Structure 1
């Protein structure tokens, strides 16, 4: 077998450089190779750009939204209050079921509610609140036939015994789409009264979470195992969700937005509260509630 020799010069004066003639003879091959290298380089740069971009907080999933027809009637049972008896809860339930505006009613006991909260807080690694989750009052979960029927239901239930509150149920948009919500420090009273949002723990920063603090939160989330997607819910999306259950909902400018975090394996969400909860700019880490 004969091999083509490539010579790139040398000490022999009688040896003619061979690369020039070889390059001329293989110009088409060299052009193709150069093009391939350029394409591979661009593909690599593009892939890295997409990888970096995938770590940026994403907007909430763009899906069709439907009005929420849910509401809940909470029976008395809070600390310091006389708890409703079984008979009183049954009377309130019978009143609800008799209303033509109500399509369905489901009872959730205080024990079931407490268990739901316990499992939800455990899933995000908040052992303190998991152990203290106790909701003694029963709740009647109802479904309206029409959203505009809610005021009349509230009026009818005023005469029911031992009712604590009647409220619309928020649309659980994030169920199945995230395991945890990171509430950020805002200008609202709750934020300003919370130690984690006060300037003593935030390097003299006051008011809403800063862009620097948000960037640090995102960077810390990147280091957690199993984080699949980081979403940022801005005030516009939060208001859109609120209006699903109450069309008259408004935001007063104190809401700073929230991060929602999806893990590849929900079991890995246990790391989020210990890692993110103490960070500057974080009001609370909340679980996206598990189903009843």
Structure 2
């Protein structure tokens, strides 16, 4: 048996070499790298830019989901007040020894208030109108049945030209037969800027609906945790139609209340639930989606309640 003679390369070395062999012959890889150094540099720069863009994009994405601070509120000398008239069934609105105020009583009280130089924009609100407002308020968040749980009464709304006159004016108004109490209202700075308020649980003696739920029983009486707050915020951003989300802290509310403190220290503001806790204020692209957004977040842990903006409840 014979074999074909093995042919050796003419030079005695392999054609492709990566560093071994002929010391006088430069490896082809080095030749290729030198020939394409600009291309490799450009690729390295592109990869670095892509990495930086990815990190920067993630940072911008996270920042874009942070809530905005509340809008600036210039202090106003004027103040809205509500004169509540005698009602029935609820002790807070009942007058000892007096029947429920009639529409005629309310209009007569409104007429007396219009004659007071300290007041302007006086409006009588009947018991029926109070009920219609409450129904619209709860219908907006998809809970019209809650209006059936309430008792309604008449009132008179007005604007006090100077907030410093509140103590003297309210004392005079409480002397009018048929008036049960006079309360101030904090200015509604969110009208036109937000459509929905999502109030978070707070550390208070009386908890709003939802903060004592079974799924956070271990946190009963505790404010919403940072994890709960972030989960609520993330859920809001994931919902269609959410354009902007603001966060109002207690510090912001404290500042606002101080601008409208009455002269009489015995008097105090009794703001609605969403105005006493950390609250997300949500602006929607279409307010018609308010009920759907409210329904998606009102049962989340850490949420004390949801409230439509611009409606009286």
Deviations 1:166-213 (A, max 9, x none): 11122101222222222222232221xx56323744142232222222
Verify the 8 A CA contact 1:91 1:160 in the aligned structure 2.
no
Matches within 5 A, 1:158-169: 158-169=174-185
For 1:160, what is the secondary structure of its paired residue?
Answer: coil
Shift of residue 20 of structure 1?
Answer: 4.2
1:278 aligns with 2:299: yes
Verify the 8 A CA contact 1:217 1:276 in the aligned structure 2.
yes
Aligned with residue 105 of structure 2, among 85, 88, 95: 88
- Give the aligned partner of residue 65 of structure 1: 74
1:109 aligns with 2:109: no
Q: Which runs of 5+ in 2 are unaligned?
A: 1-13, 18-27, 271-275
Shift of residue 74 of structure 1?
Answer: 1.7
Verify the 8 A CA contact 1:113 1:135 in the aligned structure 2.
no
Shift of residue 34 of structure 1?
Answer: 5.4
- Give the aligned partner of residue 24 of structure 2: none
Q: Distance between the aligned counterparts of 2:112 and 2:230, measured in 1?
A: 51
Deviations 1:229-259 (A, max 9, x none): 22221110111222333266699xxx65222
- Give the aligned partner of residue 175 of structure 1: 191
Aligned with residue 55 of structure 2, among 42, 45, 48: 45
Aligned with residue 242 of structure 1, among 253, 257, 262: 257
- Give the aligned partner of residue 260 of structure 1: 281
Shift of residue 79 of structure 1?
Answer: 3.0
Q: 1:117 to 1:195 in 2, by over 3 A?
A: closer
Mark the structure with the bigger radius of gyration: 2
- Give the aligned partner of residue 233 of structure 2: 218
Shift of residue 40 of structure 1?
Answer: 5.3
- Give the aligned partner of residue 7 of structure 1: none
Verify the 8 A CA contact 1:169 1:245 in the aligned structure 2.
no
How many residues matched?
A: 272
- Give the aligned partner of residue 202 of structure 1: 216
RMSD over aligned Cα atoms: 3.2
Q: 1:176 to 1:133 in 2, by over 3 A?
A: farther
Q: 1:257 to 1:21 in 2, by over 3 A?
A: closer
Q: 1:33 to 1:128 in 2, by over 3 A?
A: same
Deviations 1:46-95 (A, max 9, x none): 2332222222233223x242224211112223436532123321221122
Aligned with residue 84 of structure 2, among 74, 79, 84: 74
Verify the 8 A CA contact 1:199 1:205 in the aligned structure 2.
no
- Give the aligned partner of residue 3 of structure 1: none
Verify the 8 A CA contact 2:141 2:308 in the aligned structure 1.
yes
Q: Distance between the aligned counterparts of 1:222 and 1:264, measured in 2?
A: 13
Q: Distance between the aligned counterparts of 1:41 and 1:78, measured in 2?
A: 69
For 2:218, what is the secondary structure of its paired residue?
Answer: coil
Shift of residue 12 of structure 1?
Answer: 7.3
Q: Distance between the aligned counterparts of 1:250 and 1:117, measured in 2?
A: 21
Q: Distance between the aligned counterparts of 1:266 and 1:96, measured in 2?
A: 36
Verify the 8 A CA contact 1:120 1:290 in the aligned structure 2.
yes
